[in-house]
Amino acid sequence: MVSDFPPGGARAVARCDALGVAPYSDMSGGLYRAYLTPAYAAAQEVVAGWMEEAGMTARRDAAANLAGRYEGNVPGAPALMIGSHLDSVRNGGLYDGPLGIMLGIECVAALHAQGRRLPFPIEIYAFGDEEGSRFPAAMLTSRAVAGTLDAAALDMADDHGVALADAGVDVTAYLTAARSPCEFLAYLEAHIEQGPVLEADGLAVGTVTGIAAQLRYAVTLKGMAGHAGTTAMRLRRDPLAGAAAMVLAVEQIARGDNSDAVATVGSIEAHPGAANVIPGEVHFTIDVRSGVEERRDRVAEAILDRIAEIATARDLELAIERIHDLPASPCDAALMDLMDEALAAAGQPVRRLVSGAGHDAMNMAALCPTAMLFIRCKGGVSHNPAEHVEQEDAEIALQVMLGFIERLGERAGVKHAA
């Protein structure tokens, strides 16, 4: 039971575990907590209670984010926002998102237990739709808070035809969730690494330097459908065979760059999709990422050139649509220094690493300087029920976060005194 754990990292992990079952999951036998579902509402209710128990006031904004506020001792001072997301992918892990929220609550609980107020308020944000696992868009709610969401993006429906406007939010008021840059001093997000670097290096935590630039393409390849038994191999224009060559080319080019660049074909479908029919059309995606935009673009260009060559050699029609283009989102240099100091003070080796995955922090960068702390996860596994975080690592992360907050408070106090 969650109540069996004293305040701290172990309780943060236990609370994530508690949120992994009904009524906080929309599926039986696993975790799926989609935006604006009964499980999402139930999770918000219990997390709001934990926020209030920690000394905060809790509210739900126009984009259905849950936010808790712990007041500071300097009237009108901009706040430190600590946030992550409450939603999950289908059959996902317990800690991707919620752990950052729970650790933020534990930070405030520790301050409240000491009767301490800082030279700034602290706001804990539990964002609602980072994963985009219900509606065909991701990070709706953090984009709304950042003021970067276009009203036209709200005209959407889920796979069951339920419009966002009918899902439990007022889309006419949705954009009023936007906050002003003058309201925030900094943004801090703690998140599991979702990769193997920290574990490979024997480290519990690390300072994030930024979020990698991302490009995503939708590729359509057309050939000629035909009977699988009567069409001679030399006469075929098989787009699936062509796509297979392209998928290998994507992997080979990214590996050959020998850098942090990664490229992935994550979705592929062939039509008409019958065992005895040569496909006539194939659709697949290409995702390219790097911590450096120029490197990302170079690798992507090489990939697109190569698949064009393959299409020409196989007499296939090729159409490529760029569907996603996110610039790199570097963390603030001064905040990274504060995080490194907090790592050292907690007895942890200083380690910096880039995030290949996107996070709400990349949207918050439009409001204020951002900082991120990565936490080791077993095997680097994420978006999977096997996702695992040790309680000891969560406690280390909590101490680093508190050290970061302490240093940010000292810096803010000096500015206010001046």
Q: State which fold the 2-212+328-417 domain adopts.
A: Aminopeptidase (3.40.630)
Q: What is the dihedral of CA 295, 301, 307, 312, to 10 degrees?
A: -160
**Three-class SS of the chain:** CHHHCCCCHHHHHHHHHHCCCCCCCCCCCCCCCCCCCHHHHHHHHHHHHHHHHCCCEEEECCCCCEEEEECCCCCCCCEEEEEEECCCCCCCCCCCCHHHHHHHHHHHHHHHHCCCCCCCCEEEEEECCCCCCCCCCCCHHHHHHHCCCCHHHHCCECCCCCEHHHCCCCCCCHHHHCCCHHHEEEEEEEEECCCCHHHHCCCCEEEEEEECEEEEEEEEEECCCEECCCCCHHHCCCHHHHHHHHHHHHHHHHHHCCCCCEEECCCEEEECCCCCEECCEEEEEEEEEECCHHHHHHHHHHHHHHHHHHHHHCCCEEEEEEEEEECCEECCHHHHHHHHHHHHHCCCCCCEEEECCCCCHHHHCCCCCEEEEEECCHHHCCCCCCCCCCHHHHHHHHHHHHHHHHHHHHHHHHHHHC
Please name the fold of domain 213-326: Alpha-Beta Plaits (3.30.70)
Domain ranges for the chain: 2-212+328-417, 213-326
d(CA 362, CA 310) in angstroms, rounded, equals 35
For residue 3, what pLDDT is reported? 64
pLDDT of residue 417: 55
Contact 243, 221 (CB under 8 A): yes
Other Cβ atoms less than 10 A from the Cβ of 168: the count is 14
pLDDT for 167 equals: 97
358 alpha carbon, distance to own chain's centre: 4
User: Does the fold of domain 213-326 match that of domain 2-212+328-417?
Assistant: no
- The span from the CA of 29 to the CA of 304, in Å, is 41
Residues 329, 313: Cα–Cα separation, whole Å: 38
Contacts of 114 (CB under 8 A, 6+ apart): none
User: 127 - beta bridge partners?
Assistant: 85
pLDDT for 324 equals 83
- What's the confidence (pLDDT) of residue 327? 86
Q: Is the pTM of this model over 0.75?
A: yes
pLDDT tens digits, the chain, 418 residues: what are they?
A: 566 789 999 999 999 999 999 999 999 999 999 999 999 999 999 999 999 999 999 999 999 999 999 999 999 999 999 999 999 999 999 999 999 999 999 999 999 999 999 999 999 999 999 999 899 888 999 999 999 999 999 999 998 999 999 999 999 999 999 999 999 999 999 999 999 999 999 999 999 999 999 999 999 999 999 999 999 999 999 999 999 999 999 999 999 999 989 999 999 999 999 999 999 999 999 999 998 899 999 999 999 999 999 999 999 999 999 988 888 899 999 999 999 999 999 999 999 999 988 899 999 999 999 999 999 999 999 999 999 999 999 999 999 999 999 999 998 876 655 5
| Residue 220 token pair | 């359509």
